[in-house]
Amino acid sequence: MKDLIEKAAKIIDEAKEVLVFTGAGISTESGIPDFRSPGGLWSKYDPQDFYFDRFISNEKAREKYWQMSTEAYATMKDARPNPAHLAIKCLEDRGKLLALVTQNIDGLHHKAGNSPDKIIEIHGTALSVSCLNCRKPYGRDEIEERLRSGVKVPYCDECGGILKPDTVSFGQSMPEDKMQRALECAARCDACVVAGSSLVVYPAASIPAQAAQSGAKLIIVNRDPTPLDNYATVVIHGSLSEVLGPILCP
């Protein structure tokens, strides 16, 4: 593994504009379970219950959604960045980070100190809530306080509209502006680092694929093999907290 880490570090050292793409694997090392892993939320809840059209059309579905979402938020709220998050911050401090595209909704890259204008949260964030009708924003803790007081399904106090965390649900459209910006960065970067993503969720996984197709050197650090491993210059299966530092911030 040492040779692979050195090879990856050399790629980063020679690169001018690096795109970093992170998935659930970087957050599990901060104590946030992957939804899909054993013991994750999808082993306790049926993902089919949380499709966007059900949330919109069914009060009971909204109640179940908030139950699940509150459970997830309780873990995210107090989670702290780990050495892998800090390694990406270090890459930005070196002046090499073009953009940080994340599938994660936990806000840990913000907590690690990466510039908000570098972070592209393509699946949104669980840390804020909006009205789907009038778009009025709410702090997540304010809504959690309502739920703790006995409210089963919170509604907008401005227009009575449906409130939802600012995350992308199954069946909900991806934010076009964020996807477009992420794909533009993928086409422009000269190196792309995938950290902790299985690369099976689309359209998100099309971003590192675009980078490879555009000629960027692809480095994949993940616990398990991914569908893009054959397109990568370096593939490392190991702990992100142990591996990313020597690669991004030697």
CB 20 within 8 A of CB 196: no
**CA terminus-to-terminus distance, the chain:** 15
Q: What is the largest CA-CA distance in the chain?
A: 59
Domain limits of the chain?
1-32+81-123+174-250, 33-78+124-167
Q: What is the pLDDT of residue 109?
A: 98
Q: What is the pLDDT of residue 38?
A: 60
Number of Cβ within 10 Å of residue 135's Cβ equals 11
**Consecutive 10-residue averages of pLDDT for the chain (250 residues):** 95 98 94 70 71 93 93 92 98 98 97 98 96 97 96 97 95 92 98 96 94 97 95 96 94
Domain 33-78+124-167 CATH superfamily: SIR2/SIRT2 'Small Domain' (3.30.1600.10)
Q: Indicate which residues carry an active-site annotation.
A: 123
pTM given for the model: 0.93
Query: Tell me, which fold does domain 1-32+81-123+174-250 have in CATH?
Result: Rossmann fold (3.40.50)
CA angle 167, 168, 172 (to 5 degrees): 145
Strand order in the sheet with 119-121: 119-121, 97-102, 18-22, 191-195, 217-221, 234-236
Question: Rounded to whole angstroms, how far apart are CA atoms 112 and 90?
Answer: 10
Q: What is the pLDDT of residue 35?
A: 64
- Listed in sequence order, the residues at least 6 apart from 219 whose beta carbon sits closer than 8 Å to its beta carbon are 8, 11, 12, 191, 192, 193, 194, 232, 233, 234, 235, 236, 247
For the chain, helix, strand, coil in percent to 5 are 45, 20, 40
CB 196 within 8 A of CB 224: no
